[in-house]
Amino acid sequence: MDELPIGRRVAYWRGRRKMSQQVFADRLGKSKSWVDKVERGVRRLDKFSVVYEIADVLQLDVQLLLGREPERRPDSISCIDQIEVEEIRAALERYDCISAFFDAAPQPPPVPEIRKAVSHAWLTYQHAKYGVLARALPKLLRDAQAADTAHGSGDQAPEAAHLLGQVYQIASSALRKLGEHELSWLAADRSIAVSQRAGDPLLAGVATYRVGNALLALGRARPALEVNVNIANRLAPGNGDEASPQRLSVYGMLLLQGAMAAARIGDSATVRDLLHGADEAARALGGDHNHYWTSFGPTNVQLHRAAAAVELGEGRYAVETHETIDHEGFASLLPERRAHHLLDIARGYTQLGDVEKASEMLLEGDRLAPAEIRCRPIAHEVMSDVLRRTRGTPPAPIAELAEHMGVGV
């Protein structure tokens, strides 16, 4: 990108923002012809004021338009910035497995080393350290891809594929939270294919609900519902050894994600059925666990019950569900899961018009996992709603949090 003319960079980022030339021109107060000439290099951008206007419309750091590396802001250190997104994209765009047909595959780190790095990345994600994770993901993707290619036909092939499948899932989850939905879908889709090569149906099941999450984020609620329920039915535990804790966890999470998709399309009957099935699986599991990094168990079922109610517009039921959640079980969950729930409940309170309680939930979530509140687009929407409904000057803690989030008071 750095070597491209500025007009080409404008065209690239306009495309990334899914703006037509006409929409872009309207927002700039220019003609479509003017935009076309700039992007083709016929017209020069020789006024910094215009470059800054373009950057503002594209919601972009002006340094990226100028082909320079943006300065990292101290208050956004825990979020993924545009440089890191592009580095993750570049790692996902590598096709070394094809190149290996013609040249020797690059020597990857030892599989045990990658296994350790993958476990660390999962914990980093579940503690909502998104900035740390973003800086580690490109290298982890390259290493895991190289290991999968190098061990493609050896004894370590299944484990190498398993680890790569997990890395794709971590990337998908982090990218989805931060609004990069198409990249999230791509990473999740890659994970399904790799998981099948790993020979692990449960890993493929987890990859499926990552795909469902990405589809839901893209506004594809019905396909998300169908893919989650379809694979859940295939993994439904039977009698005896099939009802392992790992299988119950993956099966239960597929039902929970299906319930969220059903809530998005307003199908409350299906929501109830899927939550009931997940509740039965959680009871059979006998507690909250983190098998296959799912954080599945009775407490997480309750969290999804509240989240589904918010999606259905039933804020009061969401709040009532929140008030019945077992405190000890909730405290045992990892920070990302707890802060995510508090964000959902903040949304529930805004549906009730209770701005004060919504503010409390945002502040509590920020204390638990700042990146979950400060970095997620949905959290920015909730904060904007809170500020809009606040009479007079907002309380100092909310005003300060809004400033950190970059949301105008």
22-44 pLDDT, tens digit per residue, is: 989 988 889 999 999 999 989 98
- The predicted pLDDT at position 96 comes to 58
Percentage of residues in the chain with pLDDT exceeding 70?
91
What mean pLDDT, rounded, does the chain reach? 88
276-322 pLDDT, tens digit per residue, is: 999 999 999 999 999 999 999 999 999 999 999 999 999 999 999 99
Q: What is the mean pLDDT of residues 133-159?
A: 89
- Residue 345 CA to its chain's centroid (Å): 19
- The predicted pLDDT at position 97 comes to 53
Answer yes or no: are the C-beta atoms of 92 and 301 closer than 8 Å.
no
51-96 pLDDT, tens digit per residue, is: 888 887 887 777 777 776 555 444 444 677 677 788 888 888 776 5
Of 10-14, 81-85, 174-178, 259-263, the least confident: 81-85
Sorting pLDDT into bands at 50, 70 and 90, what band is 409? low
- The predicted pLDDT at position 93 comes to 76
Measured at the CA of 148, the angle between CA 143 and CA 153, to 5 degrees, comes to 150
Q: Which residue has the higher pLDDT, 407 or 400?
A: 400
368-395 pLDDT, tens digit per residue, is: 999 999 988 899 999 999 999 998 889 9
Answer yes or no: are the C-beta atoms of 382 and 345 closer than 8 Å.
no
83: number of CA atoms within 13 Å, CB side? 17
Other C-beta atoms closer than 10 Å to the C-beta of 31 total 13
Percentage of residues in the chain with pLDDT exceeding 90?
66
Q: What is the mean pLDDT of residues 142-147?
A: 92
Closest CA to 226 of 197, 267, 198: 267
pTM of model > 0.95: no
- The predicted pLDDT at position 191 comes to 95
Distance CA 24, CA 211 (A): 31
Q: What is the mean pLDDT of residues 342-358?
A: 96
pLDDT of 251 strictly over 80: yes
223: number of CA atoms within 13 Å, CB side? 13
Q: Which residue has the higher pLDDT, 107 or 155?
A: 155
170-214 pLDDT, tens digit per residue, is: 999 999 988 889 999 999 999 998 998 999 999 999 999 999 999
276: number of CA atoms within 13 Å, CB side? 6
Sorting pLDDT into bands at 50, 70 and 90, what band is 107? confident
6-65 — its CATH code? 1.10.260.40
Sorting pLDDT into bands at 50, 70 and 90, what band is 112? very high
42-58 pLDDT, tens digit per residue, is: 998 877 778 888 887 88
Burial class (CB in 10 A: 0-12, 13-18, 19+), 18: exposed
pLDDT of 12 strictly over 70: yes
The residue ranges of every structural domain in the chain are 6-65, 78-190, 220-333, 343-409
- The predicted pLDDT at position 95 comes to 66
